[in-house]
Amino acid sequence: MSGELAVNALLQQAREATGLSDFGDDWFLRPLTRLVDDVNREAGLVSPESSAGARIQGALADRLQLEQYFKDHPEAAQERIDLACAIIGLPRTGSTMVHRLLSASPKLTALWWWETAFPFPLPGEAMDDPAPRQEAAKGMVDWLLSEWPDFESIDPMDAMAINEEVVLLDRTFLSTTYDSMMPIHGYGHWQAEQDHEPAIRDLYRFLQVIQHQRVARGEARRPWVFKTPHYVMGALAGLLKVWPDVKLVMTHRDVGDVLPSYCSMCASLSVNSSTSYRKEAQGAHWTRRFRDGLNRLEAIRATLPAGQVIDVAYRDTVTDPQGTGEKILAALGYAPDADDRQAMQQAIAANAREARPKHKYSAADFGLTPEGIAQDFADYHKQYLS
């Protein structure tokens, strides 16, 4: 492969790597083509083949395996994916803690990190023993933390902990992950305006595959807890087309505490891999992405019945995580019991912020000021934080 990525070459490499040829519905080619074009034009990657190229080729290989899985296990198509809720707050708003609190309940479940990294059994792996994938995921986490040493201070990463479903949505090429990892601002704004229903339907199929494997291991089916800021930044309308009645848990925090932190996370992912990345340009990009996303959210909320959105303040998650988790669980229709309380207490202990390095960043590094953020998000703050 040359320094530039090419869609046809990426498709062919995925075929050769898997020995498979059926990609299924080719709707994904349009976002894939846009992504590849923007990577070539804007990303300035030091090594496109080993970074974006490897990530895209892996996603394409998984699309091939997704089709093959349903051929090998047609009964998986009968799996029904029930959602308890989707946590849809902006990043850095306490959504990770809420995710871990709710998914700790024995009544509910969420995706494991190793499942999002390796959704299909590895060659020779027994259906009832995913240990090979778990070990591969642990190795991947170790490698990622060596490549991005600052990341541990920003977001917890553990192969055996729960993870966001946006990692599965990366396989659709409509995902906020890509402009978070590379300076491809045009792609980020473009993907947010697309119809995400096909991507969410693909997500449903990935969940069918994962649930089918869990059942084969003797696990009970349980309603899922979703969580990713990608819903606010593009995919919420698509989510509601597939799960129209899903409860939405919206976590809220002062954007002045959120936006610079997210820019810092993106910097940790981009600064060593891109020659075109500029810290000072990130504030304006993510200000627009956040603001556009919140505006879309408000337009959607106006069409939803009362009670479908559950608002959660960050300060409550911090000062009373146990009580907050129980209130949300009750609002979802699951009366908290002793098992829920014990599981939440364990989740709180396991996710103490003090256990991780301190996240250091400055708003000014990203062309941001507290006054500017306050002005840009004054309506949001007034509505949800006053």
The amino acid that residue 232 corresponds to is V
Tokens 């009362």, located at residue: 306
- Residue range 272-296: mean pLDDT, rounded: 95
Q: What's the pLDDT at 351?
A: 84
Closest CA to 204 of 168, 158, 246: 168
- Comparing 76-85, 134-143, 284-293, the range with the smallest average pLDDT is 134-143
Residue 246 CA: distances (Å) to CA of 19, 112, 206, 224: 38, 21, 18, 11
Confidence check: pLDDT of 39 > 70: yes
Closest CA to 333 of 79, 81, 97, 82: 82
**Structure-token pair, residue 264:** 């810092």
Spatial separation of the C-alpha atoms in residues 169 and 105, rounded to whole Å: 25
Question: CA angle, corner 307, sides to 306 and 310, nearest 5?
Answer: 130
Closest CA to 255 of 276, 237, 232: 232
Q: pLDDT tens digit string along 92-122?
A: 999 999 999 999 999 999 999 999 999 999 9
Q: What's the pLDDT at 155?
A: 65
**Structure-token pair, residue 331:** 């609002």
Q: For residues 196 and 59, is the Cβ–Cβ distance under 8 A?
A: no
Confidence check: pLDDT of 353 > 70: no
The amino acid that residue 211 corresponds to is Q
- Comparing 208-217, 221-230, 265-274, 374-383, the range with the smallest average pLDDT is 265-274
Give 31's Cβ-side CA count (13 Å radius): 27
Confidence check: pLDDT of 63 > 60: yes
- Which are the contacts of 95, defined by CB distance < 8 A and separation ≥ 6? 87, 88, 89, 227, 229, 251
Closest CA to 56 of 89, 87, 34, 25: 34
- Residue range 213-218: mean pLDDT, rounded: 97
- Supply φ then ψ for residue 91, to 5 degrees: -65, 155
Band of residue 357 on the pLDDT scale cut at 50, 70, 90: low
Element (H, E) at 312: strand 309-313
CATH of domain 84-384: 3.40.50.300
Q: pLDDT tens digit string along 74-94?
A: 999 999 999 999 999 999 999
Closest CA to 238 of 192, 178, 184, 291: 192
- Residue range 42-51: mean pLDDT, rounded: 90
Q: What's the pLDDT at 133?
A: 97
Confidence check: pLDDT of 333 > 50: yes
Confidence check: pLDDT of 1 > 50: no
Number of Cβ atoms within 10 Å of the Cβ of 58? 15
Confidence check: pLDDT of 2 > 60: no
- Comparing 19-23, 157-161, 185-189, 194-198, the range with the smallest average pLDDT is 157-161
Q: For residues 357 and 152, is the Cβ–Cβ distance under 8 A?
A: yes
Spatial separation of the C-alpha atoms in residues 182 and 180, rounded to whole Å: 6
Spatial separation of the C-alpha atoms in residues 163 and 113, rounded to whole Å: 5
Q: What is the DSSP letter of 245?
A: T
DSSP helix/strand/coil, 116: helix
Q: What's the pLDDT at 50?
A: 82
Q: What's the pLDDT at 212?
A: 98
High-pLDDT (> 70) share of the chain, %:
95
- Residues 147-183 as b or e (16 or more Cβ within 10 Å = b): ebebbbbbebbbbebbbbbbbbbbbbbbbbbbbbbbb
Q: For residues 173 and 151, is the Cβ–Cβ distance under 8 A?
A: no
Spatial separation of the C-alpha atoms in residues 369 and 91, rounded to whole Å: 19
Q: What's the pLDDT at 49?
A: 86
Confidence check: pLDDT of 152 > 70: no
Length of the chain: 386
Q: For residues 282 and 269, is the Cβ–Cβ distance under 8 A?
A: no
